Amino acid sequence: MTYLFNQPSAFASELTEGFVAANADKVRQVTGGVVRSTRSKPGTVAVVIGGGSGHYPAFAGLVGQGLAHGAAMGNLFASPSARQIYHVARAAENGAGVLLTFGNYAGDVLHFGQACERLKAEGIPCEMVAVTDDISSANVAEIEKRRGVAGDLAVFKVASAAAEAGLSLAGVSAITRRANARTRSLGVAFSGCTLPGAGQPLFQVAKGSMALGMGIHGEPGITDTEVPRADALAELMVDRLLAELPPGISQPEGQRCALILNGLGAVKYEELFVVYRRLAQLMDEKGIEVVDPEVGEFVTSFNMAGASLTLMWLDDELETFWRAPCNTPAYRKGSVIQAEALTVEERQLSVQEAIPAASGASRQSARCLLKILDAVSQTLHANAVELGRIDAVAGDGDHGIGMVRGASAALEKAQELVRQGAGAGTLLCRAADAWSDRAGGTSGALWGVILNALGCAFGDQHAPQASRVAAAVADANAGIMHFGKAKPGDKTMVDVLVPFSETLNSQVAAGATLADAWREAAAVARQHAQDTAQLLPKMGRARPLAEKSLGTPDAGALSLAMIVGVVSEFLQLQRGGA
């Protein structure tokens, strides 16, 4: 269980505040996360890492001289939003572009991808590398679908040392991809973790059992087995990792590798050293030279009991960057010359967001949108438990909670903007950021895309006519397909959004009123949401347990159908003069 917290909802923000206060000589807080509080060399690439909170030392603890320039931090186990990542990157940028690198999770891919495009649009060169080291999460044929776990540290370390050495953005990106391609990890779990305020663990492992290959958010592993002795666990991990050597390495004998034995939160250092004793023997027996091994906690899963082994197979350049010195709050290597601290003025960054002028018609539309967001928030609150139950069949069960957080944040922001006289477009775009910030994860990213597309199409000068609304929904559909990469049949919200958009646009083109067209499209959405029960998931955390989800509809598809249904009811009431 978790013993020390105030309000569970404030846990992530309060831990960040305390972390910065304890490490002010190395980091400072900015919107969305932390960046170095020391001066970086001008004209060098900035490496920005990130992901959900709850994995300390990843990600904030790895910011500092010789390692990351900044870390974007989401809520517990939820990816940071595109807005948060963007602000961290802007604060960290040194004049030679930004490399964004993170674990390969759907929400992170979406949010970091959006932030990357925004940075590029503003003239800041940007590249992305998603870490894919977890061999248990996909086979070699689908290696691009693998999760990022403790291999994050190895890849982040190489990337940051390359940036510190003055390589160009192209050079830093290339060496980072090579490090990722040569990194493999395997983890095990003995018990789940309990988040602040929760009455039970986020996921369960049967007593006396070990989940082989379980992910750091409770994603399913390969199999459950009896907890072995320490030596047997070391042998199992080495055998599995040596069975899959990276391209270009034909045999392990004579190779050099960086080794990370990582505790996931509740396994003590003493236990890890017992395991490492046997690991060192095995590596020596197989003729593998271990370079600067690391034993400890580097990428955790809050208070989960478990451990992972990571091997990064080295060449001369990778070894140079792996050995390079660094000095961060949670990870130190070698000796570095202390960097100059930023001045007080340089540490204080403020961003003022003015409210654009809006027409009377647009302000009236904004008030209507506020009522819709209120109704959406109430509906999601009422259905959160059921959405979570459906999501837990093959996922991690947090969809309902995430949707409630996002809708509540969007509603709060909309209330503030209506009081300030904002138009419909501004309200939707900033509500999109609020939803994305608070919800995190894949659903937060996708609803941020939807609301932002609607806001951009509406603008602040015109009342949203039927044709404009239909076109905006089509834009949202295109944005989801672009960023999310899902297509119809993958068992995602796309299976609802595509037919909803097509029906709405065809009805409006045929001359139907917005209320009538939306009603027809909402009915189509409800049917397609139920039809996802017969599909097998091909993306996201539900993919490894695809067969288990057969017969259960997709939670994201259901929540989308639910929301468009709420909008339909509002439009019918408006037409009736209620």
The pLDDT tens digits for 100-111 are 999 999 889 988
| Residue 381 appears among annotated catalytic residues | no
Residues 318 and 365 grouped into a single domain: no
Number of domains in the chain: 2
Same domain, 385 and 317: no
**Mean pLDDT for the stretch of residues 420-445:** 89
Which whole number is the average pLDDT over 221-235?
93
Same domain? For 199 and 312 the reply is yes
Residue-averaged pLDDT of the chain: 91
**Is 314 found in the same domain as 395?**
no
Let me know: does 198 contact 2? Beta carbons within 8 Å: yes
Shared-domain flag, residues 517 and 388: yes
Identify whether 346 is part of a domain.
no
Average pLDDT over residues 327-346: 86
Q: How far apart are CA 179 and CA 421, in angstroms?
A: 51
Task: Tell the burial category of 578 from Cβ atoms under 10 Å away from its Cβ (0-12, 13-18, 19+).
Answer: exposed
Residue whose pair of structure tokens reads 């595509």 in the numeric block:
498
Q: Specify whether 309 is located in the same domain as 369.
A: no
Residue 364: count other Cβ atoms within 10 Å of its Cβ: 14
Catalytic residue among 69, 111, 217, 399, which? Answer: 217
Separation CA 79–CA 107 (nearest Å): 6
Inside any domain, residue 12: yes
- Residue ending a domain, among 325, 352, 368, is 325
Domain that holds residue 450: 360-575
For the ranges 28-32, 391-395, 455-459, which has the lowest average pLDDT?
391-395
Whether 339 shows a pLDDT value over 70: the answer reads yes
The torsion angles phi and psi of 339, rounded to 5 degrees, stand at -75, 155
Which residues does residue 211 pair with via DSSP β-bridges, in sequence order?
A: 189, 224
Confidence at residue 538, expressed as pLDDT on a 0 to 100 scale: 75
pLDDT at 577 over 80: no
CATH number, domain of 440, equals 1.25.40.340
> Residue 414: inside a domain, yes or no?
yes
- pLDDT at position 578 is 45
pTM of the model: 0.80
Q: Is 82 part of any domain?
A: yes
Residue 11 phi/psi, 5-degree rounding, is: -60, -50
For CA atoms 138, 139, 144, 146, give the dihedral sign: positive
The CATH number of whichever domain residue 224 belongs to comes to: 3.40.50.10440
- pLDDT above 80: residue 351: no
CA distances from 215 to 192, 232, 301, 477 (A): 11, 21, 9, 31
421, 281: one domain: no
- Say if 142 falls within a structural domain: yes
What's the Rg (C-alpha) of the chain? 24
Amino acid sitting at position 41: K
